[in-house]
Amino acid sequence: MDLSERKRKILQAIIDEYIGTAEPVGSRAISKKENLGLSSATIRNEMADLEEMGYLVQPHTSAGRIPSDAGYRFYVNSLMSNYKIGMEAVAQLQALLKTRVSQLEKIIKYAAAIASNLTEYTTVATAPSVNDSQIRKIDLVNISSHTVMLIVVTREVKSRAINTEIDEKNCEVLSRILNSKLAGKKSSDINFEMFEEIREETEKNTSLDSKALAEMIRFVYDIITEDSETEIYVNNAKSILHYPEYSNVDKAEKILSFLEDKENLRKIIETDNAEGIKAKIGKENDFEILQDCSLVSVNYSLRNGSGGRLAVIGPKRMNYSKVFASLDLISNEIDKILGYYMDGS
């Protein structure tokens, strides 16, 4: 429904005021806004119209108005101002880009923590499933007469010391066998026959004992198949308790219990894979317990097409412009970081 310019300005002023105070907003408070230049009587009439149109709610007969879910939706889609992130926060993110952190999960955890610090709300992030990654390379390094280091490179570098007697020449041979069979493979490509072929070639060409080989194969397989479900990282779940909307103890306990359950968070964050920043406001959320909340989320991506999602959860009166700006900045920086990461540069 189209709104007149005057109604748009009044609705924006009411929501901006309510975001800051969490108190119902009356016409007198809005009439003091210098940019409106409207009398209290005019504002009251317009507020009554906005309430009839479904954009405002009057919680008590004598109270001011608060935004409805539809009011927040119109605000997010059409009214909110651009928010500029401070240079310190930008520099903090870009410093991470320059360090090129070698572990994917550290990048995602760190970015989620920054999102929580910037917005002061709960953040939830998903990391790309390891199940989508390929084995890039396998190395064996002889580190003593009784120990070899097995190094497996996927999106991350993981290693394990294996107790076995194997010399440098046998390490080189076994490395070639493992890479010839497994390099470039995803978990869905790997089967029992492949491991049988590795075992047979290893027995023919090296002196490695079967127990050590079994341990190596198990380690490689665990890496490529572990965490088939997307990993979830949560920051600042208790921040929701700072807001007066959750001053009721029973309500606070229920929402906190929900936010501490990673399976719940996985369900709410994985249901929307749309591009760009998306907001679910109040009753737009599938879970009843989140219908007094808003969830704002954005995708980030790896260059192979896989990726994850970063989300902010807070009260419906969250500072949407700040949250949108923060997620836009962070998702762009994550994309840059992961671009370097995937290139290996």
Q: What band does 99 get if pLDDT is binned at 50, 70 and 90?
A: low
Confidence of residue 274 (pLDDT cuts 50, 70, 90): low
Choose the final residue of a domain: 188, 205, 225.
225
Assess whether 236 and 308 both reside in one domain: yes
Bigger pLDDT: 92 or 207?
A: 207
Q: Which residues contact 16 (CB under 8 A, 6 or more apart)?
A: none
Examine the domain organization and report whether 139 and 122 are in the same domain.
Answer: no
Q: Are 19 and 13 in contact (CB under 8 A)?
A: no
Residues 136 and 124 both lie in one domain: no
Residue 184 shares a structural domain with residue 118 = no
Q: How many other CB atoms are found less than 10 A from the CB of residue 205?
A: 13
Q: Which CATH number fits the domain that encloses residue 30?
A: 1.10.10.10
Tell me which of 170, 191, 225 is where a domain ends: 225
What is the spatial distance between Cα 308 and Cα 295, in angstroms, rounded to a whole number?
A: 16
Beta strands at 307-315 and 122-127: parallel, antiparallel or unpaired:
antiparallel
Q: Where among 225, 244, 261 does a domain terminate? A: 225
Same domain, 74 and 208: no
pLDDT value at 344 more than 50: no
What's the whole-number mean pLDDT along residues 100-114? Answer: 72
Q: In angstroms, rounded to a whole number, what is the distance separating the alpha carbons of residues 109 and 177?
A: 36
| Whether residues 120 and 238 fall in one domain | yes
Do 237 and 123 sit in the same domain of this protein? yes
Question: CATH number of the domain that 253 lies in?
Answer: 3.30.450.40
Query: Both 255 and 182 in a single domain?
Result: no
- Domain co-membership, 212 together with 73: no
pTM across the whole model:
0.69
Res. 13 pLDDT band, cuts 50 70 90: very high
Split into its structural domains, the chain has a count of 3
288-326 pLDDT tens trace: 999 999 999 998 775 555 578 899 999 999 999 999 999
- For the segment 92-101, the average pLDDT, to the nearest whole number, is 63
Q: Are residues 121 and 241 in the same domain?
A: yes
Same domain, 65 and 165: no
Q: Which domain holds residue 147?
A: 132-225
The pLDDT value given to residue 240: 87
pLDDT tens sequence across 48-69: 999 999 999 998 776 789 999 9
Average pLDDT in the 103-126 region?
84
Angle at 125 between CA 21 and CA 69, to 5 degrees: 40
> What token pair was written down for 340?
């370097």
User: SS3 sequence, 308-319?
Assistant: EEEEEEEECCCC
User: Dihedral through CA 188, CA 189, CA 192, CA 194, nearest 10?
Assistant: -160
Check residue 345 and give its pLDDT: 41
